[in-house]
Amino acid sequence: MPDEKQYIIDDISIKESWRLFKIMAEFVDGFEKLGDYFPAIAIFGSARMKRTDPIYSKAEAIARLLAKKGYNIITGGGPGIMEAANKGAVEGGTHSIGLNIELPFEQQPNEYANVRLSFQYFFVRKVMLIKYSVAYIIMPGGFGTLDEMFEAVTLIQTKKIRPFPVILVGSDYWKGLIDWIKDGMIPQGTVSSSDLDIMQVIDDPEEVVHTIQRIVLI
């Protein structure tokens, strides 16, 4: 008599194998569509930020200024800071790209992304953001924002990708994190002092744009 446990194992194996096709399809779709929108600047931040928050307005202003300088804007495609950045891109006359992630709550595509892709897998979307961005702008955000930021920092630190600007906007918000790296991680030897140079903290939108223009030539 066939082993019921073996049937279960085989069923799981089949399902996992078919999942690979969905993953490959997301990669292919992303590669085919996003190659037309170089260069792009990725802007990250909280999906929970209200439109009345000054940080929302600052993200919109930064995106607008970058758009007028010829950069496309790419975000996670959702509400909050992502919406602000996509809105600024539209106002600045550039491509406003939203890479939406399918979540059971919180994330809905914003109305300002005029180039849209949808992903089921976070890691596929993260590859697209890294591959097609020439700079990261990190506005105040939560775990997802930190995840995107530290992945870029780690890849730059380990020389797995070309160095590019990683700019943190909101010195008051990021001060605790920067101080922890300076006073905790560096003295313990878990990171080098030079690793901190990968990130820059800049508050003024004009200075953000100037810094990117100085480093990223288009």
168 has a pLDDT exceeding 70: yes
Task: State residue 102's pLDDT score.
Answer: 78
Tell me the CATH number at 198.
Answer: 3.40.50.450
Whole-number Å distance between alpha carbons of 96 and 117 = 11
Task: State residue 186's pLDDT score.
Answer: 97
Query: Which residues, 6+ apart, have CB-to-CB distance to 175 below 8 Å?
Result: none
* Within a domain: 4: no
Residue with tokens 């069923």: 11
* Within a domain: 51: yes
* Within a domain: 21: no
Please give the share of the chain, as a percent, with pLDDT higher than 90.
81
Query: Which residues, 6+ apart, have CB-to-CB distance to 67 below 8 Å?
Result: 73, 88, 89, 91, 92, 93, 94
Domain total in the chain = 1
CB atoms inside a 10 Å sphere around CB 180:
11
Task: State residue 101's pLDDT score.
Answer: 86
* Within a domain: 17: no
Question: pTM above 0.95?
Answer: no
Query: Which domain covers residue 73, as residue numbers?
Result: 36-215
* Within a domain: 5: no
106 has a pLDDT exceeding 60: no
* Within a domain: 100: yes
Least confident of 36-40, 99-103, 184-188, 211-215: 99-103
